[in-house]
């Protein structure tokens, strides 16, 4: 998910327009025409479950323009306690952290290559380790690892610079990784999407 115009992704929205039909029935049929009953629309509206306000976006960080490689932001002052949600947008190459619907952190990230892409989907954190080294890639350091999949996809600290890539993980600056690691818990969810734009008032958990 990307926030507003921060990553140059435009918001899109839609609505339902309704109109009442009526008029010169005597020109067509002397018998009165039955009125249309919007039963289907009413049923659909009634069937939609209420949104969980804990996951509705209430604030985004005031960041101007795209986030550059190596840049990160963090501001949790005065933010009330609430569930933690992380979002990653593969097109914008940005990770955002929300607490109770308030964005408290955002950073540019490293992602996988075409040969080893970063997957999309919803991933709960399955384990975490502050001092971790890769058992697959020659003991490469992966500080403040938040593991997302059984085959090794994780969020972890690294050097985030242009020209670098991961083997599918989401790499974030080390200082940012440390802050995220300190508050993330097992089971907290990470939403990885491509070109999905959200803003204040949108739900983090609704598709």
**pTM of the entire structure?**
0.77
**CB neighbour burial string for 139-156, b if at least 16 within 10 angstroms, e if fewer:** eeebbbbbbbeeebbbbb
Cβ–Cβ < 8 Å for 7, 66: yes
Quick one: CA dihedral 115, 165, 94, 156, positive or negative?
positive
Question: Does some domain include residue 19?
Answer: no
Question: Does some domain include residue 73?
Answer: yes
Residue ranges making up the domain that contains 114: 53-198
DSSP state of 79: P
Rounded Cα distance, 46 and 22, in Å? 27
Rounded Cα distance, 143 and 158, in Å? 7
Helix (H) or strand (E) holding 193: strand 189-193
Question: Does some domain include residue 186?
Answer: yes
Measured at the alpha carbon of residue 131, what is the angle toward residues 128 and 137, in degrees to the nearest 5? 90
Residue 98, domain CATH? 2.40.440.10
Tokens of 196: 């999905």
How many domains does the chain fold into?
Answer: 1
Question: Does some domain include residue 15?
Answer: no
Question: Does some domain include residue 191?
Answer: yes
pLDDT values of the chain reduced to their tens digit, one per residue, 207 residues:
677 645 433 233 333 333 333 333 333 344 555 565 555 555 555 566 677 888 999 999 999 889 999 999 999 999 999 999 999 999 999 999 999 999 999 999 999 999 999 999 999 999 999 999 887 777 788 899 999 999 999 999 999 998 889 989 999 999 999 999 999 999 999 999 998 888 999 999 886
């Amino acid at each position: 998910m990307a926030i507003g115009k921060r990553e140059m992704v435009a918001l899109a929205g839609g609505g339902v327009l309704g109109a009442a039909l009526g008029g010169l029935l005597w020109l067509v049929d002397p018998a009165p025409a039955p009125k249309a009953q919007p039963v289907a629309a009413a049923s659909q509206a009634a069937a939609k479950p209420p949104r969980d306000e804990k996951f509705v976006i209430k604030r985004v960080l005031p960041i101007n323009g795209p986030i550059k490689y190596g840049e990160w932001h963090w501001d949790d002052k005065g933010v009330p306690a609430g569930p933690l949600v992380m979002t990653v947008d593969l097109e914008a190459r940005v990770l955002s952290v929300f607490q109770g619907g308030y964005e408290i952190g955002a950073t540019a990230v490293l992602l996988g290559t075409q040969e080893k892409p970063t997957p999309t989907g919803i991933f709960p954190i399955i384990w975490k380790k502050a001092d971790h080294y890769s058992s697959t890639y020659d003991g490469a350091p992966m500080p403040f690892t938040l593991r997302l999949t059984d085959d090794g996809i994780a969020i972890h600290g690294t050097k985030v610079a242009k020209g670098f890539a991961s083997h599918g993980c989401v790499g974030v600056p080390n200082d940012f990784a440390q802050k995220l690691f300190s508050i993330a818990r097992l089971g907290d969810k990470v939403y990885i999407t491509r070109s999905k734009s959200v803003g204040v008032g949108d739900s983090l958990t609704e598709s």
